[in-house]
Structure 1
């Protein structure tokens, strides 16, 4: 049997499940929230999991896609919410470690933690990938020096994950943002440590989905639109960026494959940019990144994942 672990409303996982249906494959989907809403038990001594009145057995492959939203609230009490979240993370680790499977597609971060941005950038350099000039600082003097060294053209982004929140039923999120002299001058002498990079003059952005040595890539022409020029996720619905299927050079594929293999990442959404003189720059990889909507560009990732799961359901 194929087991899919994901969070509810994850469209790529639902699309893959629909393909498995058309091919009459035997599979089960478990959402992270199911551990809070359905009966289960984990017998660590016997290595047996009972879930929703069934024993989880005869599992040949597990696809870990996602698990639970980082914004999920376990309690209205802030301190209790923090405690229960840590308990749920430990629960998830115990649950996944005891799944009797022959093979994983994506090892969960509850078993093998995902690499931080710092580790990613250091490893990218090791494999010969270019990265933006990067500085993590908490003081105005260092930031001013970095600003001048990079021709007064720098950006800032989250050290870990973007901050998201809801207000009046609207979702807000932090994005990569350009930093100017006014921003620096209005800062305190000491501020919360932040990540800064030189703002590379880009020709195009690349969104690359990696799947066990295969690459599904497309170019995003975002540089000519002021709203999307720094971060294409600040989407302009009135003037959408043009997208085009893109074939990566063999040398870049080799470096990225070595990078992903080092971190034991089977899949991931990789962000890169190509500057105005044609140099490739690695930005980051999100092991749980989205990859829906690429079929329009003749990039049938979901069908390839479904086929892989079926072929390994033995």
Structure 2
């Protein structure tokens, strides 16, 4: 019997755990590989013979050899090992060699994972990790516009002088990473980068940075997409000063109201065309409903969290994903 392979992480992956629970409920066999532990010999023993095209993985936790030749369907929940940098305070000396070695170790680990992913090209991927890695925020905005979606006015600048050109247009701006945000941690907790309003330019020259118009929003939309189906949630974040610019700056004492939402057919058609163009069967889409009624597209995250949409809206997305994987496996035998 063929099995489903789930590539994920051991930590901070409650949605993966729930999908696995549903697969167990249906009695469907699966294998789970955690990318944050696959390189740790305490959890897995790995041997690859490139000349003989042999790949062996022994799961030490469950005391079993993983037979990858039986795999037909892969759910690529996490495709690279995320590295959390340690925050260095001003009192600590930064050792350049330590930083260089950490980067080298991360690069070696991630390259090993890509070898693992490419070893069996006949696997049916959801989604193929190389397609997910190609997702580029600027390119996605260009494609979204091509498919009839409205996008924010977007700029990239690296100096106060450049920003003044935008200010002359009387634009209120926000700034966010061009690529992806970074998560840091220290003994006190974890910290992430969030979208921030631009109040005043105090550094003459800086790294090229992304700026967009600060949209007057009625509410935000987080939309989970799965194989042509949409599961939208409206987030009323504009009423809180803490979440007004970015709902991820969560207000745990006064949480945003989140409710199911119905997207216009024209928006669904444009989003479907976009996801097809990106070769994505699933992903989390961020949009804004402007106070003037327009729908503004922001970005697509191919591995975005969907538990935060599933529970408030009673969508049972973990069940939907599990059933989708089962259907894909059954198609391989049809």
TM over 0.5: yes
Q: Distance in 1 between matches of 2:182 and 2:168?
A: 28
Q: Distance in 1 between matches of 2:186 and 2:110?
A: 27
**CA deviation after TM superposition for structure 1 residue 251, in Å:** 0.7
Q: Distance in 2 between matches of 1:228 and 1:277?
A: 20
Q: Per the alignment, do residues 175 and 15 of structure 1 end up closer, same or farther by CA in structure 2, a change over 3 Å counting?
A: same
Gaps of 5+ in 2: 59-64, 86-96
Q: Distance in 1 between matches of 2:175 and 2:218?
A: 20
Alignment coverage as a number of residue pairs: 307
Gaps of 5+ in 1: none
Q: Distance in 2 between matches of 1:146 and 1:212?
A: 39
Match of 2:280 among 253, 265, 270: 265
1:118 corresponds to: 138
Q: Per the alignment, do residues 77 and 153 of structure 1 end up closer, same or farther by CA in structure 2, a change over 3 Å counting?
A: same
**CA deviation after TM superposition for structure 1 residue 47, in Å:** 3.8
1:283 corresponds to: 298
Select between 303-312 and 129-138 the one with higher mean Cα deviation.
303-312
Q: Distance in 2 between matches of 1:195 and 1:54?
A: 44
Contact 1:31 1:67 in 2 (8 A): no
Q: Per the alignment, do residues 230 and 72 of structure 1 end up closer, same or farther by CA in structure 2, a change over 3 Å counting?
A: closer
**CA deviation after TM superposition for structure 1 residue 308, in Å:** 1.5
2:166 corresponds to: 146
Q: Detail structure 1 runs of 4+ shifted over 4 Å in the superposition.
A: none
Q: Distance in 1 between matches of 2:165 and 2:286?
A: 27
User: Which deviations, in whole Å up to 9, do the C-alpha atoms of 1:34-86 show, x marking residues without a partner?
Assistant: 2333111233344442110343221121110014542257xx92111212222
Q: Per the alignment, do residues 96 and 222 of structure 1 end up closer, same or farther by CA in structure 2, a change over 3 Å counting?
A: same
1:83 corresponds to: 104
1:193 corresponds to: 208
What do you get for the CA RMSD once the two structures are aligned?
1.9
Q: Distance in 2 between matches of 1:187 and 1:102?
A: 50
2:154 corresponds to: 134
TM-score for both structures, normalised by structure 1: 0.92
TM-score for both structures, normalised by structure 2: 0.87
Alignment of 1:1-314 (within 5 A): 1-9=3-11, 10-32=13-35, 33-37=37-41, 38-52=44-58, 53-72=65-84, 77-99=98-120, 101-109=122-130, 113-149=133-169, 151-180=170-199, 183-184=200-201, 186-188=202-204, 190-293=205-308, 294-314=310-330
Contact 1:6 1:64 in 2 (8 A): yes
Q: Per the alignment, do residues 48 and 309 of structure 1 end up closer, same or farther by CA in structure 2, a change over 3 Å counting?
A: farther
